[in-house]
Amino acid sequence: MSAVISPTWPWAPNLAPEWLKQSFNNGWTFGNIIQVTNQNSSAPEVEREVVSEHSYGRQIGRLMDAVVALSEKVPGAGKDERVSDLVALAKDIEAIKEAARRRRLTELLEELKSLKQHDRAEWDRLMKAVRD
């Protein structure tokens, strides 16, 4: 839906642009890349709710995991380039996730070392919570 305002609207022409067109309620954007509107989705509100619960990445990741698992069960599936490309992509993604996990663990270890050195009481409280 959009509103078009003519130049004779209450302001003098020198204070407003000659034509002003402003859209509103025109959908929503995902990552500044995908714009969901009534033109490309029959239910943009539902799609917005789904993505708020399950990101596109999570949805695609689960599909990828399922296809890779199924391809391991089907004899000769790995010979299909489309399947082998997807399996390779899945392995690359897992490597990226593992590297990110290792970085987070390293950062956590450094934070714990700092906590132990600078706030022994908080360190002791945290270690007790871990043991419990």
- pLDDT tens for 47-82 read 888 888 888 889 999 999 999 999 999 999 989 999
Q: Is the pTM of this model over 0.75?
A: no
How confident is the model over 23-39, as a mean pLDDT?
Answer: 58
Percent of the chain residues topping a pLDDT of 90: 56
| Alpha helix segments (H runs only) across 3-80 | 44-53, 56-73
28 has pLDDT over 80? no
Number of domains into which the chain is organized: 2
Confidence of residue 108 (pLDDT cuts 50, 70, 90): very high
Angle between helix 81-118 and helix 56-73 axes, rounded to 10 deg: 120
Is the same domain home to 14 and 72? no
Is the same domain home to 81 and 118? yes
C-beta atoms surrounding 99 within 10 Å: 10
User: What pLDDT is stored for residue 15 in this prediction?
Assistant: 58
User: What pLDDT is stored for residue 43 in this prediction?
Assistant: 82
Is the same domain home to 62 and 39? no
Is the same domain home to 28 and 91? no
Is the same domain home to 61 and 122? yes
Is the same domain home to 48 and 89? no
